[in-house]
Amino acid sequence: MSNIHRLGLLLLALLWVAGPVFAAEKPAKPAKRKTRDEVVTITTTQGVIRLILFDDTPLHKANFLQKAKSGFYDGTSFHRVIPNFMIQGGDSNSKDADPSNDGLGQANEGTIPAEFAAGHQHNYGALAAARQGDFANPQRASSISQFYLVQNRTGTHFLDGQYTVFGQTIQGLDVIDKIANLPRNERDHPIADIKMTMKTQKLNRKKIAKLYGYTY
């Protein structure tokens, strides 16, 4: 075999080995930036609350939007309110006339894995998922339906990293204040039911920023 022939075979072998490396190093296309988002509107007897859900808590965002769109939350109530702390709702039990089962949830209703995204804290107006305590739930998985809104104006940061924060109030902080300060019984259940309805609206993110002063 001639030296030229040997050299040609060697070059082919090198190209075959190097080919996959060159393909792997090809720069990936940048992810398409989202230009629209969904605003969640909660309507209560005390007024309207509007929320944005975070993209980097995708399991919680998808679950909450699905339930909001399906009508699951319509007729549920804020069944637990504590001034300078939070207001909690979303349990389907709160649709009935028996307040004693509010907050207990349904048997075998499932959970959502925790999503502790960096930077999402329990600030005033934060939307977070309720859950069972660590003794029964060491993974800190979230309730599939129950949520709370932080009412303390300085936040409830002792809960950071323990409960998944997956959204933020962009309008209606005053309504959260009103609900938190309503008369309640010894179980922190409002004396009068605070029923809600929920809907979503997809808007351009620039419009959301302009309407509500929210910064993405």
Tell me: pLDDT of 103 over 80: no
What are the distances in angstroms from CA 177 to CA 4, 45, 48, 151, 212?
Answer: 84, 13, 12, 6, 18
Per-residue pLDDT tens over the stretch 45-100: 999 999 999 999 999 999 999 999 999 999 999 999 999 999 999 999 898 888 88
- Contact 106/93 with Cβ under 8 angstroms? yes
**Number of structural domains the chain divides into:** 1
CATH (domain of 77): 2.40.100.10
**42 in a structural domain:** yes
Per-residue pLDDT tens over the stretch 173-192: 999 999 999 999 999 999 99
**9 in a structural domain:** no
**4 in a structural domain:** no
**121 in a structural domain:** yes
Contact residues for 188 (Cβ-Cβ < 8 A; gap 6+)? 80, 81, 82
Q: Transcribe 142-174 into DSSP letters.
A: EESS-EEEE--TT--GGGTTTS-EEEEEEE-HH
| Six token digits for residue 172 | 């209606």
The SS3 of residue 89 is strand
**86 in a structural domain:** yes
